[in-house]
Structures are given as C-alpha cells and as structure tokens.
C-alpha cells in the first residue's frame, strides 16, 4: 500500500520534469527550477524564454529573451532583472518590464515599463513609462511618460508627458505636457504645454501655453498664451486671440488681430487688436473697438469718432 501511494505521488513529478527545467509539482502546483512553462507556486529561473503562466512567485536573474511572453500573477522578482508578457501583482527588481501590460505595485531601482499599459503604483529610479497608457501613480527619478494617455498622479525630476492626453496631477522638474490635452493640475519647473487644450490649473516656472483652448488658472513666470484663453492668467506677458476672464500681466497683454477680449486686465500695456468688452487698467491701453472702459495714463479707442484718445479714463458702449 505504501509503495502504491509513493508511486502515485512521484508519477506526476517525473512526468513534468521534462518541461525546460525541473518541475516538482502535482499538476501545476509546486516548485519549478529552470524554464518551466506553467506553475502555481514558486518558480526560479535564470532567464525566461518559454514561460506560459506563473501564479505565485517568479524569480529571475535576467530579462526574458526577445519577445517576452507569458503571464505572471502574484510576485515577480528580478535579481536583478525580470519581465514577462503580462505581470499582475507585485513586481520588484533593478529593472522590470512587461511586453504587454504591467499592473499592481511595481518598483524598478533603475526603471520599469510596459509595452502597452501600466496601471497601479509604479516607482522607477530613473523612469517609468508605457507604450500606450499609464493609470494610477507613476513616479520616475528622471521622468514618467506614456505613448498615449497618462491618468492619475505622475511626477519626474526632469519631466512628465504623454503622446495624447494627461488627466490628473502631473509634476515635472523641468516640464509637463501632452501632445493633445492636459486636464487637472500640471506643474512644470520650466513650463507646461499641450498641443491642443489645457483645462484646470497649470503652473510653469517660465511659461504655460497650448495650441487650442486654455481654460482655468494658468500661471507662468514669463508668460501665458493660447489662441483661446478663458479663466485667470498670471504672467509678465499674456495673450491670445479670444481672451476671457481675469488677466494679470504686469508688462503686456496682447489680443491678436481680429480677436476679442472680455473681462478685466491689469497690465502696463494692454493692446486689444480686436474688440474689447470689459475693463483694462494700465499705463497704456489700446483697443481697436472699445465696448467698455480703459483706465490708465493714456487710453486709445480707435472706434470712437469723438475723443478717441483720453488720459486717465476712456469708455465707449
């Protein structure tokens, strides 16, 4: 009877010991040493090549061979490097990565990345990145970025960026930006920018700007600008074509030719090369078409036929 029991236990172990390594398991449950394809338990390997699935602990010494494959669910440890096709759970190593998706909590002493999507909490000594999207918390010693979207909290000593959109809180020591849209709170030591729109709060040490509509609060040490500027802007210079809200530009506010301004501007030189609705306060105020009030040392409204140039105050309906 004892021999039958022993034989029954050893039979599956022997049958599975030919799988690119040594697999001490009953079914898929047990211990694997080497390039074992499937395992639920503890798996140790130098470098993965034929991995299909590990549920439990996977420890490797080096990154997978070209074309990383397989799924790791649980704990992946790189001593120093590890990776797989998809990793879900806790990932730790000097360098970690996934060919496709990486989710959960990941730490890379040098860096970490995913070929497609990265979600959860990711900490990289040098950088954190994904080919498609990053969702969650991404902190990179140098930077954090994604090829498409960046959602959540992201920060990098040098910069943070996304090829398409940023949503959430982004902080870059030098800059923060997106190829299309930035929504939320964006802070850049030098600047914040977007190819299309910025909505929320944007703070740039030198400037803030976008190619489309800037909405919310924008603060730029040197200047703030966008074709459409709505909300509140603070910078030595500010400007756009359609400007609405509160503008605080100590040196110069400029509204482009044929544009419009509506709101209140405080600037030494307010130049509205379009239509002004509201008030401008400064030393020199110029409006091509005034429908409001100018307060300053010299005020010029080209649409007025009577007294177009006045000191102190000028107004027109």
The pLDDT assigned to 304 comes to 95
Both structure tokens of 154: 């992201």
The pLDDT assigned to 7 comes to 35
Both structure tokens of 257: 């030719």
Q: What is the dihedral of CA 297, 300, 301, 307, to 10 degrees?
A: 90
Alpha-carbon gap, residue 303 to 282, rounded angstroms: 20
Q: Is the distance from CB of 134 to CB of 153 less than 8 angstroms?
A: no
Alpha-carbon gap, residue 161 to 183, rounded angstroms: 12
Alpha-carbon gap, residue 285 to 297, rounded angstroms: 8
46 φ/ψ angles, rounded to the nearest 5 degrees: -75, -50
Both structure tokens of 144: 């954090």
Alpha-carbon gap, residue 176 to 187, rounded angstroms: 6
Alpha-carbon gap, residue 155 to 145, rounded angstroms: 9
User: What is the three-class DSSP state of 99?
Assistant: strand
pLDDT, tens digit only, all 317 positions of the chain: 333 333 333 445 444 554 578 999 999 999 999 999 999 999 999 999 999 999 999 999 999 987 788 999 999 999 999 999 999 999 999 999 999 999 999 999 999 999 999 999 999 999 999 999 999 999 999 999 999 999 999 999 999 999 999 999 999 999 999 999 999 999 999 999 999 999 999 999 999 999 999 999 999 999 999 999 999 999 999 999 999 999 999 999 999 999 999 999 999 999 999 999 999 999 999 999 999 999 999 999 999 999 999 999 999 98
């Amino acid at each position: 009877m004892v021999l039958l029991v022993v034989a029954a236990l050893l039979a599956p172990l022997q049958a599975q010991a030919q799988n690119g390594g040594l697999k001490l398991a009953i079914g898929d449950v047990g211990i694997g040493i080497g390039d074992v394809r499937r395992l639920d338990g503890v798996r140790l390997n130098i470098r993965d090549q034929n991995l299909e699935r590990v549920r439990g602990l996977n420890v490797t010494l080096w990154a997978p061979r070209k074309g990383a494959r397989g799924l790791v669910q649980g704990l992946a440890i790189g001593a120093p490097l590890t990776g797989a096709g998809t990793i879900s759970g806790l990932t730790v190593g000097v360098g970690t990565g996934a060919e496709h998706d990486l989710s959960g909590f990941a730490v890379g002493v040098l860096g970490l990345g995913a070929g497609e999507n990265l979600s959860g909490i990711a900490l990289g000594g040098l950088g954190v990145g994904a080919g498609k999207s990053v969702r969650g918390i991404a902190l990179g010693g140098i930077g954090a970025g994604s090829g498409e979207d960046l959602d959540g909290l992201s920060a990098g000593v040098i910069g943070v960026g996304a090829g398409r959109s940023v949503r959430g809180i982004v902080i870059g020591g030098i800059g923060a930006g997106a190829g299309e849209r930035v929504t939320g709170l964006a802070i850049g030591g030098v600047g914040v920018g977007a190819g299309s729109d910025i909505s929320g709060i944007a703070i740039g040490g030198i400037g803030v700007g976008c190619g489309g509509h800037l909405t919310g609060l924008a603060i730029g040490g040197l200047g703030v600008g966008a074709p459409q500027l709505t909300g509140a802007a603070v910078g030595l210079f500010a400007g756009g074509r359609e400007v609405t809200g509160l503008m605080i530009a100590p040196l110069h506010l400029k509204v482009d030719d044929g544009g419009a301004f509506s709101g209140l501007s405080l600037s030494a030189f307010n130049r509205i090369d379009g239509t002004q609705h509201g008030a401008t306060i400064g030393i020199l105020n110029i409006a091509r078409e005034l429908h409001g009030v100018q307060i300053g040392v010299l005020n010029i409204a080209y649409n007025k036929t009577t007294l177009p140039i006045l000191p102190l105050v000028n107004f027109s309906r």
